[in-house]
A and B are shown apart, each in its own frame.
Chain A
Amino acid sequence: MSDTVSILDGNAFVVSDRRGDIEATPTDTHGLFLDDTRFLSRWIFTVNGRRPNVLSSDTLHYFRSQFYLTLSSGTIYVDSDMSVVRRRAVGDGFMEEIILVNHGKQPQALELRLDVDADFADLFEVKDKLKKKGERYQRVDGNRLVLGYRRGTFVRETWITSSQPAAFRDDSVTFHVEIPPHGMWRATLEVVAVSNPERTTKPRVKYSAADVEPRPELGESLKQWVSGAPLLVSSWEPLGRTYERSLLDLAALRFQTMLTPGALPAAGLPWFMAIFGRDSLLTSFQALPFTPELAATTLRLLALFQGRVDDAFRDEEPGKILHELRLGEMTAFEERPHSPYYGSADATPLFLVLLEEYERWSGDRALAQSLEREARMAIDWIDHYGDRDGDGYVEYERRNAETGLENQCWKDSWDSIAFTDGSLAPTPRATCEIQGYVYDAKRRTARLAREVWGDPAWATRLEQEAEALKERFNRDFWIPERNFFALALDGTKRKVDALTSNIGHLLWSGIADEDKAAHCVRHLLGDELFSGWGVRTMGSSEGSYNPIGYHVGTVWPHDTSFVAWGLRRYGYRAEAARVSLGILEAAIFFNHRLPEAFAGYPRKSTQFPVEYPTACSPQAWATGAPLLLLRTLLGLESDGKYLIVDPAIPLPIQRLELLDVPGVWGHMDAFGRARPAFSGRQVAESQAADALAGV
């Protein structure tokens, strides 16, 4: 059981212990966070100087938690006669209701106290353990305690008020109460996170004690949002629960900022509660058959921030799609480049991929028409800035050597791009999946150029460039002695020869030749990459392999979902069903909320998926993974007019129906049943045969 309780509402979130206390330390990332800033670092509740004991704690909804506590009598022979309940709802700060019930026959005189503090740490400061540069202050304004931080014109404050009379001090809120026999005492406290208070009118927390239903940033209620998504009917009960959890979390993660019109999902709690280009694009792709409006919002917002200037600090270039937008102090003072930061080499082709997929699925031609200029700029970036040395491949090397990202692909940790002997590849690095995305982007953009933008000459040129890229890629990246594609070409154009899940993305993009794809499928379903739950980020025989290494051995559900979709693209229906089922079964062990990543230990030896210690959860593209896997199982495609359904359902699921799938066709239903035999190509080797039997 986790020793923390987390609730969220967009990019506001609270992490506490199981008593409900917040006690930030260098090792405990507790706090109330909003806009990448910790507005409360200490919030400890005591009764007569003692901290109550936990009976139970739970999250009632993504934004609400409650904590049942008791005062210890100090001996097992004497029952405690006082119950304590704390109920909390996060949104623009948080609301906390504290209830004490006296079960005894005597009145109880109590001192209730909350020790409070706010360090106003930027999340980057929390991660890197840095010191603050501005000044903190505290003051009591009548019935309000103000904790503040000022650095020039950058001001952040936490306002604490109470529904019951309280003594406010700079570091505490104290109540002196007397509770009669069988009586109750109740107070509601509001902790409001305020940015630039002189510009803020009447800030309040989002929820009151009476609110039990969330109000996500969707422009509609959560019930409307869920009921507006396709209805899932399945004979396999866990699938329905995972589907519902995904829809709820996708809503919970969405937020707007003072800068960004339109609500996008934050990438992941706790470290990535911000807008990320790649994450938004891939999540929107995963969710397209379920909530196409998310893709439209993503495309509009990323187009707005598309790179306009050449700025080494932000790794920005004209036409480039952003990597990450942060709102904290270090970004505000340009001590970090995230205003926004553009260190992503794949977001730009993925922007084009999503644009075409969205237009084909939704029939929303107007959006595609409005983004022609941005699409042309994106193609120009790919050809000129992306391919920095003119070798025909997009490669990356950070220009901001101090605070920029060393790896600008989805596996963006420092050690992810390594040779089979474990040595790191020198930069610039051209990772294989980015070339696949570019190939796909050019083909898709060609269709839009021809059918939407009326430029057949450009369309033909793009198609020719895509075909030429495919031809040279299959020549330059293929490792014939190992029969898979290199992870990357390094700075000296050597093939980085580790076996990784990246080859699965090549199937999604369609860049792999058919014969080479067949070899890749064997690897993806083989023991080195397939753990039984999902596809490992790196093969288990590689020098850098670590089953609990962030990008070098763990299984990422979103990664596997794109691998599965790629398998479908090449006709490997049974194999796609097998890896899809693995992830969907793993979700059961995570209470139907898939984490960002889990350990790569083999299923046959652990029997359950082992947690990765610092995995984000919920995390947007992990939340989107079950959605793309459902699409994979039902074989859902749009030909621009009709919904194509081509199911390949594994046996445990038996029956799968998705009703009212939205698209250019209006709404249509999709049905699938598991069949003992399957059509499509089989993996040549027998190692996958056992799991395939039921497909």
Chain B
Amino acid sequence: METHVEQWLDAKQKLPAPSLAGVAGTVAFEAGIDARWLLTIDNGEVELTSGPGEAQAVVKCDSKAVAERLLRGEGNPVVSALQGHLTAEGDRALALKVALGLLAGSPFSTSGTAPQEAEV
């Protein structure tokens, strides 16, 4: 069954993320072989896709649940890193900026809306 975050994958929908205003780039959230999600941020909007695409930063999580929580803006990323749930590679400043920005407000939060049906 699709998780809350997975329903946004490949919805080809840009979502407003005011807490990421001023940030631009792509961050990959990886959880072993279970998931590789790419969050592309541009001018206060984000889009979530899956696949092998390039990213400036990679956040390696020890489970899909950890990656989900980060994307939903639940749980402090610094605390997660210190507990050993995740590491960041590449542009760590971007990874941190995005993770902290999502904490301040995530379009994937469970209180948010569901994706719209894609137009055929």
Taking Cβ atoms with an 8 Å cutoff, the residues of A that contact B are 152-155, 195-196, 199, 258-262, 300, 304-305, 308-309, 318, 325, 327, 331-334, 339-340, 373
Contacts and interface: CB of A to CB of B under 8 A. Distances in A.
Nearest to A152: B83
A492 to B, nearest CB: 35
B93 A304 contact: yes
Nearest to B78: A339
Contact of B83 (A260, A308, A333): A333
A309 B104 contact: yes
A511 B62 CA distance: 52
Contacts of B76: 334, 339
Interface of B: 19, 21-22, 60, 62, 76, 78-79, 81-85, 87-88, 91-93, 96-97, 100-101, 103-104
B79 A308 contact: no
A583 B28 CA distance: 52
B42 to A, nearest CB: 16
Contact of B104 (A195, A261, A308, A339): A308
Contact of B79 (A199, A332, A373): A332
Contacts of B22: 373
B77 to A, nearest CB: 9
Contacts of B19: 308
A318 B103 CA distance: 12
A262 B91 CA distance: 11
7 contacts: A199-B84, A262-B93, A304-B93, A308-B100, A308-B101, A318-B104, A332-B83
A339 B81 CA distance: 10
B82 A331 contact: yes
Given A332-B79, A373-B21, A373-B22, A153 B92 contact: no
B73 to A, nearest CB: 9
B96 A300 contact: no
A325 B100 CA distance: 14
A391 B97 CA distance: 34
Contacts of A308: 19, 100-101, 103-104
A153 B21 contact: no
Contacts of A331: 79, 82
A154 B82 CA distance: 7
Nearest to A262: B93
Contacts of A260: 92
A152 B79 CA distance: 13
A333 to B, nearest CB: 7
A409 B62 CA distance: 39
- Most central of A304, A325, A333 by chain B CB within 10 Å: A304
Contact of B93 (A153, A258, A300, A373): A300
Given A300-B93, A327-B82, 13 more contacts: A153-B84, A154-B84, A199-B60, A259-B81, A259-B88, A259-B96, A261-B92, A304-B93, A305-B96, A332-B82, A333-B79, A340-B78, A373-B22
A334 B78 CA distance: 10
Contacts of B78: 259, 325, 339-340
A153 B83 CA distance: 6
Contacts of B92: 259-261
- Most central of B76, B79, B83 by chain A CB within 10 Å: B83
Nearest to A154: B83
A262 B93 CA distance: 9
Contacts of B93: 261-262, 300, 304
